[in-house]
Amino acid sequence: MWVQIKGKAYGKRKIKMTKGILYFAQNPAFQHLTKIGKTTKSDIKSRGLSGSNVPEDFKYLALLDCEDVDWAEKKVHEQFGKFRHETETGRSTEFYWSGCIESAVKYAKDLKGVSDQTKETVKKIQKKEKEVEREAGVLDTDSKEERDEKIRVINAMDRLNIPIGAELVFVKDATKKCKVVKPLSNNGSKRIEYKGEIYSLSQLAQQFLKEAGYNWPSARGIMWFSYNGELLLDKLNRLESECGGCDYKA
C-alpha cells in the first residue's frame, strides 16, 4: 500500500506501507526476556525463531496484524526503549524485559491499523506444527534433539528439486509407484498421487507399510521412497555433503 504525504521541502512524496505481523515471542529458557519483532511472511513459523540454535522453542504471546508493520514496530520499540536488553558489549537487541510486555502489547493494539490476531494465528500455527510433525514422523517419545533432527530433514525437502511428474518408488515394493503432482515441501501438504488419490509422502508411506504388515504409529516418507534409484534421504544427505558450507538446515 502507498500513501501520499505533503511536506514543505519536498512537496508530495510516496511512503510505502508494508503489511505484516508484529509479534511478541518468549523462550522458556530465558523467560525474563521477550522478543518484539516483525515479519512480512504470511506464515509466522517461517520467521524461523525456533531451531537448533536455541535451547527451547519460542512461544508467541501476541501476534498483531499491522497495516504498516515497520511503523508499528518502531513505535513500540521507541515507547519501551528503556526496557530494551543490551549485551555486555553494549549491542542493542530486539529483546525486552518481560515485565513490560503486557503494557507493550496493549500499547501496540491501540496503534492505528493494528488488529489482534493472536488466537486465530496460534491455532493455525498449532495445526501446521501437527501437520509437519506428522509428515516428519515425530513420535511422542522422541527427545527434543530427535524431534529437531526430523523437522530439520523435512524442512529441507523442497531443496531436493524433484520435478513435477517424477515417479517415486516405494523401497520395500518396487511395484508401488507414485507421482509427484506438486513440489515437495515441508508443510505436510498432499503432494503425490497414487491410484487417483492425493497423499502426503508420509501418509502414503504409512499406508504401504500397514499393507506390508507394519502397524507403526507414523512413518517418515523421505526414508521410504526413492527417485531415480536413490533413497530420498540419501539424496538429501548427498546434496548437503556436496554443498559443503551451504546452509541446508531449516
Q: Where are the domains of the chain?
A: 2-116, 152-243
State the CATH class of domain 152-243. Answer: alpha beta
- Give the pLDDT means over successive 10-residue stretches in the chain (250 positions): 42 69 92 93 59 74 94 96 92 94 96 91 78 74 79 70 91 94 67 91 91 87 92 87 56
pLDDT at residue 231, as a whole number: 94
Please tell me the predicted confidence (pLDDT) of residue 44: 59
pTM, to two decimals: 0.53
Q: In whole angstroms, give the CA distance from residue 53 to residue 51.
A: 5
